[in-house]
Amino acid sequence: MRAGLDCNADSLADCVEAVCVLDEDQASVLKRLRWDAPAEPVGLSATGDDRRHTEIVTAHARRMAERLTGSAATAEQIMRDAERAYGGPRPFRLRVAGGRPIRLPVLNPWTCLRLAPQPLVRRMCRLTERTVTGPGKRTTLAAGLELVEAEVGDLIRFGGDVFLPTVGYLYCGKLVTAELAADSRGAGMQTCRQEVS
């Protein structure tokens, strides 16, 4: 993987196996997600402490940036930028009206894209209404993983679960409440079933 996250994918798969009871199909999917790469010095999921997590992530960003750019100075600057971006408080923000649709950003090895479960953001924002929007353009990213480019913004679908991509914790209210209409094959996204009380 160009971003150098292959070893971390394996670490996350280890965590999933440790805490989940997987059926045969789920175990098969998890096995296909493994890269069998050399382990990171400290895995990205190794700690729940925000400060230590930031140190681990920014050190990884520095290693990857130096490997990709060949410049220690550039890598150091990228690491410092990452520390400033992710080292402080990270409050989520909700844009309730106006603005352009929030789209999936250009991906690179030093941008940390977060995928927030749509039902969780709905709960955090106390939004209970649903807005039906068109089915959107769908692009398969990997087995079971789909990008949905809807009128109101981009959603990521993995299996039956729907996620809102974000870099800066900004969520568009229309995207948070989006309920996608069935596509031409009748395969609509069922996000209501994920609601947790």
Tens digit of pLDDT for each residue in 123-146?
888 888 887 777 789 899 888 888
194's CB contacts (< 8 A; 6+ apart) are 117, 118, 119, 160, 161, 162
User: How far is residue 129's CA from residue 11's CA, in Å, rounded to a whole number?
Assistant: 37
Q: Side by side, which strands form the sheet with 153-158?
A: 114-117, 161-166, 153-158, 145-150, 137-142
pLDDT at 171: 82
Which has more pLDDT, 18 or 197? 18
CA angle 5, 110, 117 (to 5 degrees): 70
Q: Which residues contact 110 (CB under 8 A, 6 or more apart)?
A: 61, 64, 65, 78, 81, 82
CA angle 127, 173, 113 (to 5 degrees): 110
Retrieve residue 184's tokens. 């031409």
- Is the pLDDT at 99 greater than 70? The verdict is no
Q: What are the structural domain ranges in the chain?
A: 6-86, 93-194
What average pLDDT is seen over the chain? 75
Q: What is the pTM of this model?
A: 0.54
The answer to whether the beta carbons of residues 19 and 33 sit under 8 Å apart is no
